[in-house]
Amino acid sequence: MIRLAVSSQDMVSSRFTISPLIETMHALWTISGRHEAGIHRQWVERRQETYKVLERAHPGLRAIAAISGNRGNSNVDFIAPPPSGVKVSFDDELAVVRATPVEQAHAEVARVLAMLPRADPEIRELLLGPDVVRIIADAFAIAWTEIVAPAWPFFHAVLERDVVQRAGRLATYGWAAALDDLSAQCRWRQGHIELRMGDSERICRLDGKGLLFLPTLFSNRMGAYLEESPRFALIYPARGIAAPLPAANDGLAVLIGRTRARILLELAAPGTTTQLAALLGIALGTTGEHLTALRRAGLVTATRTGRSVLYQRTSLGDALTAGAFPA
């Protein structure tokens, strides 16, 4: 059990964010077969041959697999550090990896290799060699470009919706409500966040730095960055990734059209035009037209949040998707 002591300053400093680099690392664990594909099976099957070709050409991908995604504390941190803030790009995160001193990389690698079965000699030599940081960064770059980036608009839409929903829940109902359904491994208890992770018991103080909360699509378990770093971070499973979107029933599709029915079903959680277009694979302009029609019919409402407009179902929209009308 790990207890995170949370001060009032930590509450103010905490943020929800998205890490393209960490998601790329998680995707590699899944596509390489080290983690269960689950609902991503079809995507993994389409990308596996590409990954195998890249793995043969870039041994850095095998090096990443050797020193990350392992159980317990047998993982290095420098290959995918927590982001320095919100709204960071993949290139910005990769620049942080490239700036890692080779001495730090070797120290982390040596610690992990001592905890694992003996690595392949070629990979071990690479990991302890002078170019390890560059080789791993280059491997991440090619994996992002060839495997993850084409699907990123969809992945990002799912992750962004989770962030918006949880941040709103935190602001409206407080920490207990926001964290108690984050994961079965996480609970809010009287000024502490309790994490059921690892075998030892310890207390970690955030010292006013707060936490970054990062949703992930490729894991059903929590992860954490709790060692000394610019930011502490918790990684948790994004909402809704375990259940596919229900098919629109014929009656609803006949009434309002199949695409509008799909949009209405997807709005079980609030979303923006951009998110819905990415999630459903339809053009942005077309999505906007359908949302306008649904809004005029009283089935959805629109609320401006910053630069975005967030759509959500009305009670009439809820009743239609449930197959019942209000009395």
- Mean pLDDT across 186-207: 82
Contacts by residues 71-79 (CB-CB < 8 Å, ≥ 24 positions apart): 72/115, 72/198, 73/115, 73/198, 74/112, 74/115, 74/116, 75/112, 76/105, 76/108, 76/109, 76/111, 76/112, 77/108, 77/225, 77/227, 77/229, 78/104, 78/105, 78/108, 78/133, 79/25, 79/136, 79/140
Note whether 212 and 231 are within 8 A (CB).
yes
Tens digit of pLDDT for each residue in 236-287? 998 755 444 455 566 788 888 889 988 988 888 788 898 888 888 889 999 9
What's the pLDDT score for residue 105?
96
Map out the domains of the chain as residue ranges: 2-16+155-237, 20-153, 250-322
pLDDT at 66 over 80: yes
What's the pLDDT score for residue 243?
43
* 291 class by beta-carbon count within 10 Å (0-12 exposed, 13-18 middle, 19+ buried): buried
What's the pLDDT score for residue 163?
86
With a threshold of 0.75, does the pTM exceed it?
A: yes
Which of the following CATH numbers is that of domain 250-322: 3.90.1150.10, 1.10.10.10, 2.60.40.3140, 3.40.50.300?
Answer: 1.10.10.10
